[in-house]
Structure 1
């Protein structure tokens, strides 16, 4: 398999940032660099990779808090999330105060993503699924050859994303899970925004929020 990844929990929220790379080209991306940028760059260096872009599932601060720091000096392109999360990026200073982060700068993604788009990491292609509910602009990255998805805060092992933040909506979130994610297949492994990995099949069988 030409795609490898490493999960790096960051900040006090233990948010799962993923270092993802193509083994053919050694080009890499960071999915949801929420903070602790020095640790993320150290991981890139240790794997002897060339960091080429930042990919964002949604715009809550624990997932994007390190983005501006990463990109201001390097010029790395930012892809994602969906445009409907722009209001969350614009409110990063307020999010910083609300959640006890140091001041975080706003930024403008180079490319907003929508359902059906694709992104590339080296020679590898990931499909984009728009999965609103936790936030209106939440997206999921799906790598079909390895049967792996990066789902941000849509779905967790044994749980689902919160919907009590502005513009969150429980019926919309459940529809995203049941109509976009579970149909991909029981064998799909997913990396959530927090906590351990699971499979869609395991959640279909055991997760009280989505089974049946």
Structure 2
């Protein structure tokens, strides 16, 4: 990864990996999944010396999207993603927030993302994959040139996303991973929504949810 840099900012009681991702050449950045604790996110932006040009959402759960509306207003940027199938989650953010004690506003992205779309950050281009299962509208963003991906809560080191939340579907999740993520190549490194980074190859070999029929 020569032209992409990332700072991971754990936010909310769920320790969600909010990610500040930027193009090293242009210092243009995106904030991915600002779930809360906006002061931490502001500090990371200041320390990195980058210019945020957009907010990206991988899906609509509270720990990923609760701070998106407020941060959009503060920074004067647009929100891109997730897929429109998660609109019902984004509109329910205030009630989700009350349940978990996380301040949240409902949010409608400026641009919904679909399979085959691309997202730009400076000179970086990320390809969009629609990967339902954890939520109906989950998306994964991949830089094929930099061999890097943002996978949200679709795939983790040694695990996969929960499927017991509204709209979750275990069979759809495994199909998304096997049909769309594994073919990307074993050398693809990824940042997930919680926990440490990993690679597609490591998960192909050792993730217990991806062995055999991969039924969960």
TM-score when normalising by structure 2: 0.95
Distance 2:55 2:206 in 1: 33
The correspondence of residues 80-95 of structure 1 with structure 2, limited to 5 A, is: 80-95=81-96
Aligned to 2:173: 173
Moved over 3 A (4+): none
Aligned to 1:57: 58
| TM-align CA RMSD | 0.9
Distance 1:31 1:173 in 2: 21
Comparing 170-179 and 88-97, the one that deviates more: 88-97
Q: CA deviation at 1:170?
A: 0.3
The correspondence of residues 1-212 of structure 1 with structure 2, limited to 5 A, is: 1-102=2-103, 104-212=104-212
Q: CA deviation at 1:73?
A: 2.9
Distance 2:111 2:210 in 1: 32
Are the counterparts in 2 of residues 15 and 62 from structure 1 also a CA contact under 8 Å? yes
Q: CA deviation at 1:65?
A: 1.1
Distance 1:207 1:190 in 2: 14
Distance 1:211 1:180 in 2: 16
Q: CA deviation at 1:23?
A: 1.3
Q: CA deviation at 1:83?
A: 0.2
Q: Give unmatched runs, 5+ long, in structure 1.
A: none
Kindly tell me the number of residue pairs found equivalent between the two proteins.
211
Distance 2:116 2:11 in 1: 29
Q: What secondary structure, in the 3-state scheme, does the structure 1 residue paired with 2:112 have?
A: coil
Q: What secondary structure, in the 3-state scheme, does the structure 2 residue paired with 1:141 have?
A: strand
Q: CA deviation at 1:184?
A: 0.4
Distance 1:124 1:71 in 2: 21
Q: CA deviation at 1:75?
A: 2.1
Q: 1:53-111 deviations in whole A, cap 9, x for unaligned?
A: 00000000100111111012332100000000000001011101222213x11121000
Are the counterparts in 1 of residues 36 and 102 from structure 2 also a CA contact under 8 Å? no
TM-score when normalising by structure 1: 0.97
Distance 1:73 1:206 in 2: 42
Are the counterparts in 2 of residues 203 and 211 from structure 1 also a CA contact under 8 Å? no
Distance 2:70 2:25 in 1: 28
Q: CA deviation at 1:51?
A: 0.8
Distance 1:204 1:56 in 2: 25
